[in-house]
Amino acid sequence: MSIEWSEKPDQKLTVAGQGLEYACWGPPPDAAPTLLMLHEGLGSIAQWRDLPSRLAAATGFGVLAYARAGYGASDPADLPRPLDYQTREATQVLGPLLDAAGIEQALLLGHSDGATIAAIYAGSVSDLRVRGLVLIAPHFFTEPEGLAAIRAAGEAYRDGDLRVRLAKYHADVDGAFRGWHDAWTHPGFERWNVADCIDHWRIPVLAIQGRRDPYGTLAQIAEIEQRIYAPLETLILDDCGHAPHLERPEETEGAIVEFCARLHRLEREEVHFA
């Protein structure tokens, strides 16, 4: 194992020359599969709350959560972020991070931007370590409703209390917010579309979406259903917005735990040929 497997490690995880904040729960990678958690566009490790520890206890898997550069206590990111920052994170950071952490079998669990990064990785990198995807509120293309919600977040950051609330979680709160907001509201971002990554998935997928998500409609899930060639399970939650794991934790966690158990059982079954 290449890192200190701890909820409060002494040092950051170094990937591509950047120090990334991380934390671990449950068994290490040489003892069990690992759930790798990728946070949302304004997220951090702390904003997962106690979900990582609960998933570790319920699944028996190890859990590793990290903060991307520019978030939490990780090293700063260069601004402005390029409009393809999610693809760059997937193709330039995620593989080396799996290497550095010594992960042998992984399920990628992402929320929002994190879900999209996981989706891009699974569709563009041939990595047999990755055995499944859990995508919470993923986005593959822009929608007018989502872009309007992001512009509204910009107003709340400038005129409301959003900056104060986020400052509790990020060493450089302005960098974290501007990196996300300014990319999504750039005029060129309206044409952003990474849905072709779905065509190349060859591992089981669990997709979770709230019907009242202001940042993405059920068209995102429909895109998966129309393009996917791999096994797919979906959980669509009524009266739920952008964070099913916080707004509807019992249903969301239950679906994730069942998905992990089923995947692990299939991995362990012997294949018998006639």
Of 13, 76, 24, residue with least CA distance to 48: 24
The pair of structure tokens assigned to 185 is: 């509201």
Burial 11-33 (b: 16+ CB within 10 A, else e): ebbebeebebbbbbbbbbbeebb
The rounded percent of the chain whose pLDDT value lies above 90 is 95
What the chain holds in terms of domains, given with CATH numbers, is 13-267 (3.40.50.1820)
Whether omega for the bond prior to residue 82 falls within 30 degrees of 0, making it cis, is no
DSSP 270: P
Nearest to 63 by CA among 5, 114, 115: 5
- Residues 56-70: pLDDT tens digits? 999 999 999 999 999
pLDDT interval class at 77 (50, 70, 90): very high
User: What are the pLDDT digits (tens) for 165-195?
Assistant: 999 999 999 999 999 999 999 999 999 999 9
For all residues of the chain together, what is the average pLDDT? 96
Which residue intervals of the chain are DSSP H helices?
51-59, 85-88, 95-101, 113-124, 144-159, 162-167, 173-184, 219-227, 244-247, 249-268
Q: What is the pLDDT, as a whole number, of residue 121?
A: 98
Average pLDDT over residues 48-55: 98
Angle at 13 between CA 183 and CA 28, to 5 degrees: 120
User: What are the φ/ψ torsions at residue 166 (nearest 5 degrees)?
Assistant: -75, -25
To 10 degrees, what angle do helices 173-184 and 144-159 make? 150
Q: Is the pLDDT of residue 272 over 80?
A: no
Taking residues 244-254, report their average pLDDT. 98
Mean pLDDT on 72-79:
97
**Can you give the pLDDT at residue 6?**
96
pLDDT band at 38 (very low <50, low <70, confident <90, very high): very high
Token readout for 175 is: 């960098």
Residue 227: what residue type?
R
The sign of the CA dihedral 210, 192, 64, 257 is positive
**Rounded-to-10 torsion of CA 20, 23, 28, 32:** -100
Question: Cα–Cα distance between 136 and 37 in angstroms, integer?
Answer: 11
Q: Which residues pair with 265 in a beta bridge?
A: none
| pLDDT at residue 133 greater than cutoff 60 | yes
Model confidence over 191-211: pLDDT tens digits? Answer: 999 999 999 999 999 999 999
**Residue 273: its pLDDT value, please?**
44
Tabulate helix, strand, coil % of the chain (nearest 5).
Answer: 45, 15, 40
Neighbouring-strand partners of residue 62:
34
pLDDT digits (tens, 9 = 90+) for 150-159: 999 999 999 9
Q: φ, ψ for residue 71 (rounded to 5)?
A: -125, 160
At 80, is the pLDDT very low, low, confident or very high (cuts 50, 70, 90)?
Answer: very high
The confidence score (pLDDT) of residue 269 equals 74
